[in-house]
Amino acid sequence: MDKFVIGVDLGGTFIKAGVVDSFGNILLEDSIPTEAEKGPEHVVIQISKVVRKLSEEFDFGEIFGVGIGAPGQVDPAGAVKYPPNFPGWEVVYLAQEVQRETNIKTVVDNDANVAAIGEAKFGAGREHPNFIMVTLGTGIGGGIIIDGKIYRGPTGGAGEIGHVSINFEGPKCNCGNYGCVESYVGQRYLSAWVAKELENNPNSKIIELVNGDLSKIEPYIISLAAEQGDEFAINVWKKAGFYVGVMLASVMNLFDINVAIVGGGVAKAGKVLFDAMNQTVKSRALKPIAEKAIVIPSQLGNRAGILGAGALAFEELNQTTT
Amino acid sequence: MDKFVIGVDLGGTFIKAGVVDSFGNILLEDSIPTEAEKGPEHVVIQISKVVRKLSEEFDFGEIFGVGIGAPGQVDPAGAVKYPPNFPGWEVVYLAQEVQRETNIKTVVDNDANVAAIGEAKFGAGREHPNFIMVTLGTGIGGGIIIDGKIYRGPTGGAGEIGHVSINFEGPKCNCGNYGCVESYVGQRYLSAWVAKELENNPNSKIIELVNGDLSKIEPYIISLAAEQGDEFAINVWKKAGFYVGVMLASVMNLFDINVAIVGGGVAKAGKVLFDAMNQTVKSRALKPIAEKAIVIPSQLGNRAGILGAGALAFEELNQTTT
């Protein structure tokens, strides 16, 4: 008999969940508002509600586990700590709480690790036992897969590739450091940087696309302009790819890993961005790494959250069932 | 009965070797010229000669293994590749060759890993199951100890902390990249940088100490001047500590490790250097890491080469003997 799990993608606005099989198919899907403003107890109720609904509706077999991808820091014991945009949330043992409500074994990890585990099991990482996962979004998240397993580090905080400083005199990062790659390519930083640079590029199509309101610049707008051949927009992605590539060369050197898989909203910028990342790691990583270095796109796209959380459940809970 | 190994420190000029017990004592010591210019076969003979001599002279018990710390790249199968300053040396299976000559089980690793393993077993790492080893010398070497074991990576090349770029527009590094921490603090780069800065600091004691010959600047000269209260020399170590600290903050964030152990010739600069490294990691690493971050000196000093190679032999060969 095949095995099934439920993957839960806990977002600030919506909780998305789906029944996932061991091949990475989503067989049934649902979502529910997070209503984070009502506090953590309510979020536990919302997650449990959608999990119970899916498990009741699903007829093909037994759901043996639930995996949750959560924002913020998650420690090895499953404590989800101070997730951004979740008011009143301090430290919550989310997996234990959901398990108590649903009677289904539940595990939780942070969303960057979950993305890496998902890619390893169901996506571009299937052929690569060792890779660096990069998620380019509001922040820059990461996960290191070594020999098919996520490297969590002694306290569960490993893989913070967004906070590798690529320039000790660079812009101040939200974390307190300077020149973190996130302070160049994180969504808000990137938008602010583009808005500023547009002062010297008044003919860029980006200005037209936002009707002159530079506060509306987002990565997809820059991509739209780039697709229409806007030189300035193309250069933005070249530069962004260069910054990420500089970070990746250092991380590849440290871990002796020559594959990076890049996902997240910003990664949709496509070929220009990936070409720049590839050129940079090839010219900057140490020779034995550089020769075989590749930076490739995530394969899971919009399904990364649910599939990653499902993969987490398969990885962590599979051995305890028969 | 206690167990003994021979640790071999393969240098460009001398081969140093010693009988090491399981507590980290060197019970008998010898050295022999490397004569690297006579080619790899000759180097194998020289190593075997000193190993045989020590094992014949040692009366307290049986030598069950030999560990070698070698410069250059060493792959997991024991191939020592293109070590710098060893003419005519391409790829040599050094451990196998020495074992054939001496009939004693032999293992080899690169000298940065060996330094980390030595510190873990016999030095400052005994109390720290997870730490980042830094050797500040001609180059900047590194080793990552996770849960008491060295992290070698898929092809044995991991831990290249010297080639983390701390400034994408920094000086060109020997490796081809820009702004590697080695291109700031590696011995030759550091000396050249100091020589250049002295143009604007004509009253520094360094100039007196080298009798005006700026090509003679070496780290110990800068330290001597700093000890005598020379402001410029003190600032050199502050700056060097800052650069290393910037790199360490990134590496700590990536591995979720909050301890760094620093050895090698340049590390002798002492308190000013260590204060700067500590201040930098505390102000730049992510909060959960920074709170507990410490940068401490190596405890093995001049014995690091022999003791590290001995520790390697204990780690790798112990289980195969009784």
Q: Which amino acid is at B72?
A: G
Q: Is the pLDDT of residue A2 over 90?
A: no
**Backbone phi, then psi, for A267, in 5-degree steps?**
-65, -20
Q: Name every chain A residue with its beta carbon within 8 A of the beta carbon of B246.
A: 165, 168
| Overall average pLDDT of the A142-151 stretch | 96
Bigger pLDDT: B11 or B76?
B11
Cα gap B316→A131, rounded to integer Å:
27
A286: nearest CA in chain B? B175
> What's B241's domain CATH number?
3.30.420.40
Cβ contact A246–B168 (<8 Å): yes
A167 with B166: Cβ contact below 8 A = yes
Separation between Cα atoms, residue B269 and residue B285, nearest integer Å: 23
Q: Nearest-CA residue of chain A relative to B245?
A: A168
User: Is B287 touching A (CB cutoff 8 A)?
Assistant: yes
**A152 and A280 share one domain:** yes
Mean pLDDT of A8-17: 95
Distances (CA, A) of B301 to A98, A289, B35, B113, B225: 53, 32, 25, 15, 22
| Residue B257 tokens, joined | 């490790």
In a domain, B123, yes or no: no
Average pLDDT for chain A:
94
Asked whether residue B122 is assigned to any structural domain, the reply reads no
In a domain, A122, yes or no: no
pLDDT, one tens digit per residue, over B104-113 is 999 999 999 9
* Cα A210 → chain centroid: 27
Q: Angle formed by the axes of helices A94-102 and A40-57, to 10°?
A: 50
Best residue in B183, B253, B280 to probe A by mutation, most A CBs within 10 Å?
A: B253
| Contact call for B254 and A286, based on CB within 8 A | no
* Amino acid (one-letter) located at A56: E
In a shared domain, residues B275 and B309: no
Q: Which two tokens stand for residue A234?
A: 């193309």
- Which pLDDT does position A118 carry in this prediction? 97
Residue (of A52, A38, A37, A31) closest to A99 by Cα position? A52
Q: Which of B154, B176, B251 sits opposite A257 (nearest CB)?
A: B154
Q: How close B150 comes to chain A (CA, Å)?
A: 12
Asked whether residue A142 falls in the same domain as residue A266, the answer is yes
Task: Look at residue B267 in the predicted model and tell me its pLDDT.
Answer: 75
Q: Do A254 and B144 touch (CB under 8 A)?
A: yes
Strand segments (E) across chain B: 4-10, 14-21, 26-33, 63-70, 73-74, 79-81, 91-93, 106-110, 131-136, 140-146, 149-150, 259-263, 294-297
Is B246 within 8 Å of A153 when comparing Cβ atoms? no
In chain B, how many domains are there? 2
Taking a contact as any Cβ pair under 8 Å apart, which residues of chain B between 197 and 236 contact chain A?
A: none
Look at the block and give the residue holding tokens 């080619």: B39
DSSP A140-190: EEEEEEETTEE---TTS----GGG-BSBTTSPBPTTS-BSBTHHHHSHHHH
A203: burial class by Cβ within 10 Å (0-12, 13-18, 19+)? exposed
| Residue A75 confidence (pLDDT) | 85
Q: What is the DSSP string of A86-100?
A: -TT--EEEHHHHHHH
Res. A180: pLDDT tops 70? yes
Residue whose tokens read 């508002």: A33
Q: Using the predicted structure, report yes or no on whether residue A279 has a pLDDT greater than 90.
A: yes
Residues of chain B contacting residue A161, judged by C-beta atoms under 8 Å apart: 254
The answer to whether residue B234 sits within a structural domain is yes
Residue A321 has pLDDT above 70, yes or no: no
Looking at the structure, tell me whether residues A315 and A280 fall in a common domain: no
Tell whether A107 and A170 lie within a shared domain.
no
Assess whether B28 and B54 both reside in one domain.
yes
In a domain, A27, yes or no: yes
Q: Report which of B110, B22, B149 is spatially closest to residue A288, judged by C-alpha positions.
A: B110
Indicate whether B320 pLDDT > 70: no
- State the Cα angle at B318 between B313 and B322, rounded to 5°: 140
Asked if B160 has any chain A CB less than 8 Å from its own CB, the reply is yes
- Kindly state whether residues A113 and A161 are assigned to the same domain: no
CA distance A98 to chain B (A): 26
The predicted model gives B278-285 an average pLDDT of 98
Tokens of A94: 């989310």
Question: Which residues 55-74 of B have a C-beta within 8 angstroms of A?
Answer: 73
Q: Residue A177 and residue B289: Cβ atoms within 8 Å?
A: no
pLDDT at B268 over 90: no
Q: Which of B156, B254, B285 sits opposite A251 (nearest CB)?
A: B254
- Domain shared by A278 and A205, yes or no: yes
Average pLDDT over all residues of chain B: 94
Looking from the CA of B189 toward its CB, the CA atoms found within 13 Å total 22
A147 Cβ under 8 Å from any chain B Cβ: yes
Give dist(CA B258, CA B282) in Å, integer.
10
- Asked if residue A125 has pLDDT above 70, the reply is yes
How would residue B322 be classed by pLDDT, with cut points 50, 70 and 90?
Answer: very low
Is residue A158 very low, low, confident or very high in pLDDT (cuts 50, 70, 90)? Answer: very high
pLDDT at position B88 over 80: yes
pLDDT per residue over A187-243, tens digit each?
A: 989 999 999 999 999 999 999 999 999 999 999 999 999 999 999 999 999 999 999
| Neighbour count for residue B76 (Cβ, 10 Å) | 12
Residues of the domain holding B309: 4-117+302-320
Give the pLDDT mean for B140-162: 94
CA distance to A11, B190, B202, B226, per residue, from B232 (Å): 53, 14, 10, 8
| A101 shares a domain with A209 | no
The pLDDT value recorded for residue A319 is 56
Residue B280 sits at the chain A interface (C-beta within 8 Å): no
Does residue B1 register a pLDDT over 60? no
- Assess B177–A contact: CB distance below 8 Å, yes or no: yes
- Indicate whether A231 and A308 sit together in one domain: no
The residues in B 250-269 lying below 8 A from A, measured between CB atoms, are 250-251, 253-257
Does residue A158 sit within a domain? Answer: yes
Closest alpha carbon within chain B to A244: B168
Cβ-based neighbour number of residue B196 at 10 Å = 10
Say if residue A210 is exposed, middle or buried (CB neighbours under 10 Å; 0-12, 13-18, 19+): middle
Which chain B residues are within 8 Å of A287, Cβ to Cβ? Answer: 175-176
Give pLDDT, residue B73: 84
Is residue A57 included in any domain, yes or no?
yes
Interchain contact, A246 vs B165, CB within 8 Å: yes
* Better pLDDT: B144 or B137: B144
Examine the pLDDT at A322 and tell me if it is beyond 70: no
Query: Going by DSSP bridges, is the β-strand pair B14-21/B26-33 parallel, antiparallel, or unpaired?
Result: antiparallel
ipTM for the whole predicted complex goes beyond 0.95: no
pLDDT above 60 for A161? yes
Q: Are B45 and B82 in contact (CB under 8 A)?
A: no
Question: Contacts of residue B284 in chain A, CB cutoff 8 Å?
Answer: 165, 176-178
**Residue B319 pLDDT level (bands cut at 50, 70, 90):** low
Whether residues B266 and B186 share a domain: the answer is: yes
User: Are A42 and A153 within one domain?
Assistant: no
Which of B157, B165, B255 has the CB atom closest to A158's CB atom? B255
A131 touches chain B (CB under 8 A): no
Q: Looking at per-residue confidence, does B250 or A75 come out higher?
A: B250
What pLDDT, on the 0 to 100 scale, is given for residue A301? Answer: 85
Distance CA B79, CA A172 (A): 44
Longest CA pairwise span in chain A (Å):
64
User: A192 at the B interface (CB within 8 A)?
Assistant: no
A14-31 tens-digit pLDDT: 999 999 999 999 999 999
Query: In this predicted structure, what is the pLDDT of residue A191?
Result: 94
Select the residue of B130, B176, B284 nearest A154 (Cβ to Cβ).
B130
